[in-house]
Amino acid sequence: MTAAPNLALPPRVRFPGISSAAFEHPSDRAALEALRRTPGLDRLLKWLSDMGAERYLRVKFTADSIRVSPRQCSRLYNDLREACAILDVKEPELYLSQYPVPNAFAFGMQRHTIVMTTSLVDLLSETERLEVIGHELGHIKAEHMLYTQMAFLLADILSMAAGTITIPGAILTNGLIMALYTWIRKSELTADRAGLLTVQDPNICVSGLLKLVGGSQKLMDDLNPDEFTRQADLYEDMDEDLMSLYYKLMLLRFQTHPFPAVRARELTEWSRSDQYLRLLRGDYPRVETDQGRRTCAACSAIVTNVTFRFCPECGGILDPVTRD
C-alpha cells in the first residue's frame, strides 16, 4: 500500500528581533510625522494620558469580559502565543467581549491589551482569526498605542467642546481632529502588514476583510477576493469630478479605517513586493541594530522610534536622541 502524501503546511516563518520599521507603511510614517509637527500636541497627549483613560478601559473589560488564558478559551490563547512568537512581541492581555458587531482593537500604554468580540470570532476561520491578532500586535509593535488611544479621547473632547469655541477655533479644532483620523487610517495599513507577516498568505487577509464587509454565512464559499480588490480601482476612478471627491472626504473624515477594498489591494500588492519577500528570507531591520534606542526613565521601556518625544508605554518625557 502506498503511503498517503504529507499534505501538512510548512511552519510559518518567525521574525526574531524584527523592528516595526520592517513593515511600517510609508503613509503611516508620513502622516504621523506631519501630526507630530502640530505645536503643543505632545504635551496635550501627555496630559490626556494622565487622566486615566487606560485604567477605565481595564476596569471595564476585567469586570465585563472574558480574559483569555491557558485555562480560559485556550485555543484563542494559543493563537495569541503563536502570533507573538512570529512577530517577536511580548504577550499582551487578551479579552473576549460579547458584542454583535465584529471588531478587534488594542489599547494600553502601561499594559498592552487586545479585545476581540464574540461575533468576530464566530465569523472568521482559525487562520483569519490569527491574522486579526497579528494585526493588533502590529499596532503594539509599531508603538501606536499612545497616539491612537489619546487621539480618540482628544477627538471626543474637541467634538464636545466645538459648540463653545469661536469660528477660528472651530476651524483649527476640526483640522486637528481630521489630522488625527487621517493618521489612524494610515496606521491601519502598517498593522495590516503585520497581520500578513503573521499568517504569510495574502488570501487569508483578503478573505477576512471580505467577511468583515459582507460576511453572510450563506455566501462564504462564493466570495471572490480578486473581484473584491478590483473594487479599489473602481473607487479611485470616482475622482473625476469635484462632487465625488467631496463625498469621499465626507465619508472618510471621521473614519478610523481605510475602505476594505483599498486595504485588500494594498496587502495584495505588498505581498508581491521585494520588501515582503526579503522579510520572509530573514532580511529585515532588527531592533538591536536600530539607531537611537532610548530607555524611559519612568518605566524602563525601550523606545526605538527616534521621532518619539514621549514614551509610548507610560507617556513619560524621553531624553533627546544623541546623534553622532
Query: So which residues are the catalytic ones?
Result: 136
Output the nine-digit C-alpha cell for 63: 469586570
Rounded to whole angstroms, what are the CA distances from 301 to 109, 160, 182, 249, 260?
10, 34, 28, 38, 34
Question: Which residues on neighbouring strands pair with residue 113, listed in sequence order?
Answer: 93, 107
Distance CA(228)–CA(207), nearest Å, equals 9
Report the relative pairing of strands 93-97 and 66-67 from DSSP bridges: antiparallel
Distance CA(196)–CA(114), nearest Å, equals 18
With 0-12 CB in 10 A as exposed, 13-18 as middle and 19+ as buried, what is 114? buried
With 0-12 CB in 10 A as exposed, 13-18 as middle and 19+ as buried, what is 288? exposed
Question: CA torsion angle for 140, 285, 86, 130 (degrees, to 10)?
Answer: 50
Rounded to whole angstroms, what are the CA distances from 227 to 49, 111, 207, 220?
43, 40, 12, 14
Q: Are 83 and 133 in contact (CB under 8 A)?
A: yes
Distance CA(82)–CA(133), nearest Å, equals 10
Q: Are 61 and 219 in contact (CB under 8 A)?
A: no
Rounded to whole angstroms, what are the CA distances from 282 to 80, 274, 276, 321?
22, 12, 10, 28
How many Cα neighbours within 13 Å face the side chain of 225?
Answer: 15
